[in-house]
Structures are given as C-alpha cells and as structure tokens.
Structure 1
Amino acid sequence: MISSKNFDEILTSPWSLWAISVTAALLMWFYVMESDESGYVTRRFSCPLEYESLDAQATLRNKVSEVDVEIRGLEEVLARFDYDSVSCVVDLRNLSPGKKYTQDVRVNLPPNVSLVSCTPSQVVVDLLRQVVRLMPVEVVLPQDIPDGQYLEGVEIVPKEIAIRGGEKDISKIGAIQIQPTVQELQSGKELLLPVKLSQSEPFDEEVALEPSQVRMRASLVRGLPKKKVPVNLRLSGKPSSDYELKAVVTDPSEVYLEGPASRLSQISSVETETVDISWLSADQMLVVPLKAPNVKGVSILNVKSVRLSVHLEPAKATTQFSNIPVAIRAGSGESEWAAAPSVVVVTVEGLPSRIADIRPEDVGLQAYVDLSNIFVDSAALPVRVEIASEDLKVVKIEPPTVTVSTAEGSVGR
C-alpha cells in the first residue's frame, strides 16, 4: 500500500507534473475544437456539369453530364441554401476538335460555403468536328388516303432543315420527313408537324435539328392526282460550222401530268418530238409537239406543245501568220531606221469559214511601228497591226514590242 508520503512524492515529481500538464493541454484542445465544429454540417448533392467556350465547329462525345459535390457550412446557412446557386464548369477554351483532353472541374460556390469534395474532379473531353447540313423536307403520305382523293397545294415552311452533328452521324441521314395523318389533312388547317429523321443506323452522338418542327398547308381534293414535271428537249444535228449552240429555252419549261399516284411516280419528265437544228445559222423560234407519256393512264394537262427558242453564237477560230514584216512609219526623212526583230507573228480570230485558207494580203494585214514624236536614237515601241476586214480580229502579236534605232546614230540631222 502506498503511503501518503510516497503519494505526495509521486505527485510532485517532475515526470508527474509533466504528465499532468500534457493531459490538461489535450483536454483543452479537444474542448476548443469541439466548440469550433459545433453548428457546421456537410451536404452532398449532384450538380449538372456545364461546358463553356465550346468551339462552334465542335461537339462533345460521351460527355459527363453531372458530378457529385460535397459542401460544408453552418447549419442555419445550409438550411436555406439554394443548390441552384452552385455551378460546376469545364472550360473548353482553345481546345481543337479531333482530340481528347483531361480538364479540371471548377466548382463555383456562394459565400459562407466551402467545398469539401467534387467527384470526379477531372473529366475527359472528347471533341468531334461538327458539321451543318441543309436537307429538304419530304412529305410522307398516309397509306389510308381515300380512293379518288389526292394531296394538292402543298406548302412547307421552312422547306429545308439544318442538321447539326458529327460528320459520321450526319452521313447516316437519308431524308428529313413529316408524316401528316388523313385526319390532319382533311381538316384543311395549317399543321405544325414534328420533323423525323430517316437514318441508316443509330447515331453515336446527339444530332440537332433546327427547327425541329415545320408548318404545312395542303388540301385533300377529289379527282386524279397531279404532278409537275420538267420538259426535256430532244435535239439532233449541229448548227452551221460558223455557229455554236448558246442556249435552248422551252416555254413552258414544266407541265402538269394527271393520273393514278402509283403511275405518276414512274414518270420524272416528258419529252418533245425531236427537233433537227442542222445547219442553223441564226436564232430560231419553233413550236414543238410534246410526246405523250408512255405510262398508261397518265396524260398531260392543258398543253400539247411548247415554244422552243434556239439561240446561237458565232464560233471562234484562230490562225497564225508568221514572218509579217514590221514597217516604219512617220520616221525622220534624213535618218534610216531599222526594227529588231524585223518580223512578227500575228494571230487573227474570226469565223471558221472566214479563217480557212486566208492569206495576209487577202485582208490587208500590215504590222508597223509609229515613230511620231520619237527624238532618241533608239527606242522599244509597241507593234501595231492593221487589218482591212471588219469580221477579223487581231488577238495576239509576238513579240508585242520591237526595238527601233537609226543607222546614223542621230535623229533629225
């Protein structure tokens, strides 16, 4: 048994006093810390992930849509906390499509709240090159349209839809369609219809349609369906060798066909009877009959022929004249002048029949240099060409300039 004297010695020993001091300090520290933590709580929630500064020509593949966030704050603050005030952002500035990047998630918090954790704290960003393609809107008719009725006066606004997505996904799209029902068409009202995609296989990523709906006006009317088709002109022969075919215009350029819908779908155009334009040498206007469609039960409405305007333009041919002497004109009478080179090559353009077998002397072709107002012993001057025929044109002189000089080395002596 420990005596009181021994107990006092133990309590007053240096080691005992040190142990008592350390124990007291630890108790005080735990007390203070417990006091500081009182009133603070944490909250965990999911936060939508936003992507900033995405290149207009890029789209995100397999993007992370949300992250888990844990925040800490006073209990009374978090009790009325608006979780929509927290934003989680990935910055895509200066990132190029076609590559993968690892980017930090930035958590934006209001005052009096601190971030404990964000999971994941980084995301892999896979940028794909985005393209925009315009495609026309097609109307898919319902199969249960009553016999003896057809769709007339179809108007679609807009007529084209912008498709935005990755290059690979865009290539899978075959058509843009709207599919009105018989009841909608019989109402006679303007319809607001969703746009549907006809695609060869599922998309890898999101594809956006702009707009996603179109307005349509149409009427179901009684009678045989009608279809507008272009007129194809059948020509044979060639104009005179001096002329080329510039343009052929038909009026009207389109006609309406009437017949059962299944048979109208077999026809894409109608043809004229064959017109022979051999040896034409001037513009012509002709009336040409239309050929009846070769599909039974289909006829052309109200038109039996079309006006045909044939427009010609002169054909162009060229020929070269070599060794054309260069004459000296308006030189000083007291000096002898010489040109170097003394001959040139002249290219002349005209109608093929006019150019054939032509000679320089036949058309008064002359090359010369003009020495008017020349007061030096030597000069490089442009070569000029005269031609007496108005239907011929000089298109090239080679060389375009020659050097003229005096044999005496002086001018005007």
Structure 2
Amino acid sequence: MIKSLDSLLSSKTFLKVVSVIVAFLVWYYVAAERTTEVVRTVTLPIEYLNVPADMSISSDTRNVDVQIAAPRDVLSGKSLESIACQVDLKGLETGRHVRPVRAILPSGVRLIDIKPSNIEVRLARTSAKEVPVEVQVKGGLPPGYRLENVRLMPETVVIKGPDSKLEEIERVFLRPTVDALLESESITLRPVWGEKPEDFMDVTVNPAEVQMDYVLVRGIPRKKVPVEITLEGEPHKDYEVQGISVDPPEVVVEAPVDVLDRIREIVLPPVDIEGITEDVVFQVNVPEEGVSGISGIQPSTVRVRVLLLSRQVERMYKDVPIEIRGRSIYPSWRVEPVAAEVLVKGPPSVLDELEENGPPVELFVDVTNIVSRSLRVPLQYATASRQVKIIRVEPAHVTVFAETE
C-alpha cells in the first residue's frame, strides 16, 4: 500500500491536479482581495461654491469626517486625492445659514457617512481699509539693546474682511523674535493683529508680508530731538523779525527709553533781541536740567541767527496846508481847497522825528507863467526826508484864482 501511495504522489497526474488546485486557490485569494470592500474614514477641508461677491465666510467647522467604502485596490491608488467636500452658497444673503455638505467621490468609491452632514455658515459684508504697520518685539528687547533706523516696506497695508472685524483693527504688527533680529539687519514677516487664533479668522492682508530693515544697537539709547527757541524783547522800531534759524535744528539726547519717550523737544533759554538793528548770531547753551534722567546732550551749544527786515509804516496827515509859490503877472493868488490830506510811508523813527516840526511833507502849487485868472493845476509836494515816500494825495488837483485887487 505504501508503494501504491508513493506511486500516486509521484505520478504526473497527481502533480497536475495539485498544481491546478494551488493555482485556483491563489486566483481565488487575489480575486477576493480585489473585490472585498474596505471601509475608511478621511478628514477633508470644506470647499465653498458660489460665494456671494463682497462677502466673507466664517464657520466653526472647517473640516468634516467622511466615511467611505471601496475595493482595496481602488483605495490604494490616488483616488483619495480626488475626494472633496463642498458646500454651495448660491443665492444666500448676509446672516447665518445651515447648509448640507456634499461629498464628491471618484468612481468605485461609496459614501457611508459624513460628520457633520450639515454645517452653519455665517456670511457678512466685507470692506477694506488701510492701517499702519508697527513693530513689537516678542518678549521685548534685552536690557541695553534698541532698534534704530527702522524702515518698513510698506509702512501701511490694506486689510479686508467683515466690517465687525475691521472696526477692531486700528494697526497691525510685525513681531520678530530677538534671535531673528540678531541674525540679520533685514527680516520679512507676516503682519498680525491679535493674540488668539480666532483673531485672524476671515481677515486678509495685502501685501501678506512686510520687509523690515533695521539696526540693532547695544548701548545707551539715543534720540534726535528738535530744539525750540523763544525771543525776548523787541528789535528797534524800524525793524521786525523776518526769521529765526537754529544750527543744528536737532540735538541728540542720551537717556533711558522711558525718558526718551517723554521728550518731544528741548526748549532753549530765551534770546534777548531788545533794540537790535541788524542780523545777530547768538551762541546758546543747551540745558540738560530741564528733563530729569538725561545723561547727555550733543552738541552742548547751538547757533541761533535772528534775521531782521526793515519796517515801514503808513501814516495819514489831514489838513496839510497848501502853499502858493512862484511869480506871475498877477499880484496875488488864492487856492481852493486850502488844505489836503496826505498818506505817506517811511521808517517809524524817521516819521516820529519829523513830526516834531509838523507833517513831514509840504504841499504847494506853482503859479509861475500862469496867465489865466483861474486854472486847475496838479498839487505838488516835497518830503522832509528821502526815506519818506508819498503814497497818495487827496485831492490830486486844486484850482488857483488870480486876485487883481
């Protein structure tokens, strides 16, 4: 019997039968593997369709869990990459809305469940505004360090989002770390405006990044501060102040940062210009005792130049008598009117001195070579000083009458 069993096992017929059975089992296993469904859960972001113009979308749900089933060979390929979850917003107005989530599946993939199957979306009108960019170092700078020559490009950005969000944002910030500042003198960062993740929801910034050039300095903080000058007294009455120049117009103040933040200007001691008659240059000491906490000011003196301008005043003289001058064929003459008013212009001191002897102008008519018994003639004048100018004489013409008796 053993011989017959060995003969059977070694026969070609038996081996063929075994081969067929093994091949069948392999085929059955592979076919079963390919046709057996596999269940899998994937987390996908929500895509929004037909977003209304000029509206922003916000929702507490950003991802959904999608449970799908498909043959193993289908899920093992790139089919998962083509799965999408969409929410259609067509025709919606501002406010809160509950919308279904629709799964877009490739061929051969079957949907089992979506969690959540509906989500709440909030639509709000969007607007934009321009806000400045400021720098806030995370954790603050170490003692003895300060930023100088900070240049932001751009200095302002445009933020866009719901009106309720934009009302809360007056400025945005660059928040570099100290380590980042130590590595270079230029850094590019995304502007931020809040501390919590929800502060950044639904708001976009244009441009998305801002370049910051700077110099990180170690030592006593310094600040350029303008100087303010005041004048005491008045120049000579023939002059007025045309302008004041200060050289240099700014001084460098050394002090702790909190002291520098309070300093807006350095006020110089008053400069006495009483009675001056020409441009004058003063050397003025810059005081340090005006603000406590200052460790130094450079330079310690500044040049103050006061520029003068000649001053002219106008004065009106009324009832200035009109004289008759010259000779003619008639024994005497009279003039009508007998006086006029004159508007003159000149230096105040000159006019004051001349007024001690009456008006600084003489009015007259010249009757030389006049043969008519009455004639309208121009009124002539002469001033007591070349510095006095006639602006107007009223009337400009008078009538002279010859008297024969």
TM-score normalised over the length of structure 2:
0.51
Correspondence for 2:362: 366
Shift of 1:187: 3.7
Which stretch of the first structure deviates more once superposed, 272-281 or 142-151? 272-281
Q: Is residue 347 from structure 1 mapped to residue 347 from structure 2 by the alignment?
A: no
- Which has the greater radius of gyration? 2
Q: Residue type matched to 1:149 in 2?
A: Y
Which of 386, 392, 397 is matched with 1:396 structurally?
392
RMSD value, Cα: 5.2
Structure 2 Cα separation of the partners of residues 284 and 145 of structure 1 = 47
Which stretch of the first structure deviates more once superposed, 208-217 or 176-185? 208-217
Which of 259, 262, 267 is matched with 1:266 structurally?
262
Which of 305, 308, 320 is matched with 2:304 structurally?
308
Structure 1 Cα separation of the partners of residues 367 and 157 of structure 2 = 69
Shift of 1:349: 2.4
- The DSSP-based 3-state class of the residue aligned with 2:354 is coil
Structure 2 Cα separation of the partners of residues 405 and 262 of structure 1 = 84
Correspondence for 1:53: none
Q: Residue type matched to 2:277 in 1?
A: S
Unaligned runs of 5+ in 2: 1-48, 57-90, 92-126, 195-201
- Change in 2 beyond 3 A, CA 1:149/1:317: same
Structure 1 Cα separation of the partners of residues 209 and 398 of structure 2 = 75
Q: Is residue 239 from structure 1 mapped to residue 230 from structure 2 by the alignment?
A: no
Which of 174, 177, 181 is matched with 2:176 structurally?
181
Question: Is the contact between residue 364 and residue 381 of structure 2 (CA under 8 Å) also seen in structure 1?
Answer: yes
Question: Is the contact between residue 269 and residue 284 of structure 2 (CA under 8 Å) also seen in structure 1?
Answer: yes
Structure 2 Cα separation of the partners of residues 390 and 160 of structure 1 = 62
- Change in 2 beyond 3 A, CA 1:48/1:181: same
Structure 1 Cα separation of the partners of residues 380 and 192 of structure 2 = 70
Question: Is the contact between residue 324 and residue 344 of structure 1 (CA under 8 Å) also seen in structure 2?
Answer: yes
- Change in 2 beyond 3 A, CA 1:397/1:266: same
Q: Which residues in structure 2 correspond to 1:11-90 (within 5 Å)?
A: none
Length, aligned pairs only:
274
Unaligned runs of 5+ in 1: 1-44, 50-62, 66-87, 89-127, 199-205, 409-413
- Change in 2 beyond 3 A, CA 1:140/1:398: farther
Question: Is the contact between residue 253 and residue 298 of structure 2 (CA under 8 Å) also seen in structure 1?
Answer: no
Q: Which residues in structure 2 correspond to 1:189-228 (within 5 Å)?
A: 189-192=185-188, 215-228=211-224
Which stretch of the first structure deviates more once superposed, 290-299 or 304-313? 290-299
Question: Is the contact between residue 178 and residue 196 of structure 1 (CA under 8 Å) also seen in structure 2?
Answer: yes
Correspondence for 2:83: none
CA shift digits 1:44-70 (9 cap, x unpaired) = x95856xxxxxxxxxxxxx789xxxxx
- The DSSP-based 3-state class of the residue aligned with 1:356 is helix
Correspondence for 1:255: 251
- Change in 2 beyond 3 A, CA 1:363/1:323: closer
Correspondence for 2:19: none
Correspondence for 1:276: 272
Structure 1 Cα separation of the partners of residues 225 and 51 of structure 2 = 57
Question: Is the contact between residue 324 and residue 346 of structure 1 (CA under 8 Å) also seen in structure 2?
Answer: yes
